[in-house]
Amino acid sequence: MIKLANVKSCIKYYCGKVISRRYTRKLQTSVREAEIISFDLFDTLIKRNVAKPEHVHKLVQSEFFRQTGIKLTDYEKYRIAAEKRARKKSSEEEISLDEIFDELSELSEEWKNILKKTERQIEIEICTPNLQMQPVYEYALRERKRIIITSDMYLDEYTIRQILRKCGYSIYEKLYLSSSFRLSKSRGSIFEIIKRDYGSCGRNILHIGDNVKGDYVIPRKKGINALLVDGQPELLRYWKKSNKVVLKDQFLYQRLYCFLNNQVGNDYDDAKAIGYEILGPLLLGYCKWLYQKLKDDKIEKIFFLSREGKILQEAFHILYPECEIEQTYLYVSRQALTVPQLADAVDFDEMAEIFKYLVHVPTVSMIPVMCMLDRKIFLEKINQIGLNGSIRIDKISDEKKIGLYNIIQDLGKDEFKRQNQYIVRYLKENNFVGNIGIVDIGWSGTMQKALQTYTDVSSTKLQGYYLGVRNIGLNEQYESLLRHGYIFNTKINEKYNLMTRFTAEIIELLFLNTTGSVLKYNIENSHVIPILDISEYGEREKLFIKSVQMSAFEFLRRANKNVFLIKEAKIPEAIVMNAYCRFAVRPNMSVVRIFNDFKVLNGKVRSILPQYGILHYLTHVRAFRRDFEESSCKIFFLKKIFKINLPYFTLLKLLLFRCDGEKINK
């Protein structure tokens, strides 16, 4: 049954939305024309990093437990009930925090004093400036307006002034607080006091607030101009205020939502939105998980692997600047680590397995690129044995495999062996020994497997820490590796495995260091140095990626100052992946267009998205199949072609089920 109070609340909320949209455009003009500007406090100048005011009590309960070891069951319920009793007993229009706590008679005075002090401190901690309204306040200051603060609140004046000072509102003439005057906005009596104090200004007083009744209807009845602003705008693109998918972590989800939503300013573009809402929370969750795992596993040193490891290292340093574990950035790549192993391949089939690590669908023409062989000589030699460069390596006849194997060894074996020696020396120079961890985005652990071949297992225990760990038909080759995944691993969260698998190029792009990949190694000044490829990204792409990552780092720095977020032991993967789903798994066309001209390196430089439309592919079915197979971002591929909203993820799961002949867990 729908309660009448809820209906009234909804009517007020949506009426407020309509009125606030109508008058928001008039804000600056109205401020300029007024003499006295009265600002409401909460949800106007100030935002809280909680979804509801009563959520403060949940934080108080947690903090009380942390301080005393005493768990107060259902404290939120008792605290709300105490406030209701205090209001019912009081003959005044407003009550104080002391009067509320007087009603908690079942608690000792000592406990009540701790709880009261904690509540005041938490109210200060969770408050943040409203970035949508702060420019209005600053404009009023520049225009030399007389500013007053008017608020209905039971907190004491000292606490409110601390909140104002913390949030950058230290300049104002008077504070009209209901708990001090024992009068309220909602009944109009506090506006009578304002009119008494500023009577000579008359209609030149402007009150700005978010409550339909207390900040708009009542002041206008009292002869004071009023403008209504939207106190609860949803400014995020990929997060929603409530979400049933993460119901068991709803409190943390909503706090993260509010924290993110409260940080959105007026210059919120595509790159900042992706960095702040997608990459930033992913890094926060991953680094918290990583820090705990490193401690649990007693890791002595961690090596962040290039290129994606660079952003992981920077994020980790922002959150844990005093971490005692030795940290090194290691220049490696799949190509640099696996190609030297060709020297020991006994036949072409062993070589083919290595090529599959480097390119999604390798062809003969890609071999000189992957192995850095002389392309002209290579093409001449394969022509002599009757091989076409466009043929896929898994389609080569057994007879021609022998000839191709000999060509590769003749042209590259000496360099393969030399690079093998350089890698061993490079790892030794970087003290790659002991109980060590490698940090990378993931996925199957190809570089971990390669690094293991260059290390002495008697003196080195190697563990990998990834966003996710997957095996694609290669379980037997990787089951001996010690691999750990934050979002998913080979045993849990298979749906997240598939989500990242069908959008691999997008998620990897977010973590990318825009320097070139490691091609090989050389000796310089008696030390091994990496030889880097030129970056495959243009300046526009580099600037976009940098903006995304800078925005993510800014999120981490702000999150690190939020004492309640940073105290969280972990950020469940369901929370961060929920936003990623809206961004990449169910993308709208505006997101797809962002990456329309982006290119990636996967054996060769090619576009993330198809360069043709549906009409072209209807008449070129083979081209569609080839481009679709090569794509590592199949959801975006299909969305770009068909444009309409279809369950692309579900369709791809069904296709995978049919191709693999095995069940994909939901």
Rounded Cα distance between 45 and 136, Å, is 9
Give mean pLDDT, residues 367-395.
88
pLDDT bin (cut points 50, 70, 90) of residue 534 is confident
Q: Which amino acid is at 2?
A: I
Rounded Cα distance between 326 and 275, Å, is 28
Poorest-pLDDT segment among 92-106, 244-258, 601-615, 627-641: 601-615
Strands 174-177 vs 146-151: parallel, antiparallel or unpaired: parallel
Strand locations in 445-505, DSSP E?
460-468, 482-488
524, burial (CB in 10 Å: exposed 0-12, middle 13-18, buried 19+): exposed
- Of 393, 562, 573, 420, the closest CA to residue 492 belongs to 573
pLDDT at 607: 80
pLDDT tens, 461-512?
999 999 999 876 556 667 788 999 999 988 888 999 999 999 988 998 899 8
- Residue with token string 């004491």: 156
Q: What number of other Cβ atoms are within 10 A of residue 494's Cβ? A: 17
Beta-bridged to residue 177, according to DSSP, are: 151
Q: How many helices (H) and strands (E) does the chain have?
A: 33, 16
Q: Which amino acid is at 635?
A: I
645, burial (CB in 10 Å: exposed 0-12, middle 13-18, buried 19+): exposed
Rounded Cα distance between 250 and 244, Å, is 8
What global pTM score does this model have? 0.88
Q: Which amino acid is at 544?
A: F
Write down how long the chain is: 666
Give mean pLDDT, residues 635-664.
79
Q: Tell me how far the alpha carbon of residue 99 is from its chain's centroid.
A: 42
**Tokens for 547?**
């903006």
- Residue with token string 């007389």: 146
Rounded Cα distance between 85 and 82, Å, is 5
pLDDT tens, 402-455?
999 899 999 989 999 999 999 999 999 999 999 999 999 988 888 998 899 898
Poorest-pLDDT segment among 66-70, 379-383, 445-449, 536-540: 536-540
Residue that wins the pLDDT comparison between 564 and 302: 302
**Tokens for 519?**
């091609």
**Tokens for 417?**
């062996």
Average pLDDT across the chain, whole number? 88
DSSP state of 472: S
Rounded Cα distance between 49 and 663, Å, is 42
**For residues 81, 83, 86 and 90, what is the CA-based torsion angle, rounded to 10 degrees?**
-130
Beta-bridged to residue 38, according to DSSP, are: 148, 207
Give, in order, the Cα–Cα distances in Å from 57 to each of 60, 285, 337, 538, 567. 5, 25, 54, 51, 17
**For residues 339, 341, 346 and 347, what is the CA-based torsion angle, rounded to 10 degrees?**
-20
pLDDT at 597: 80
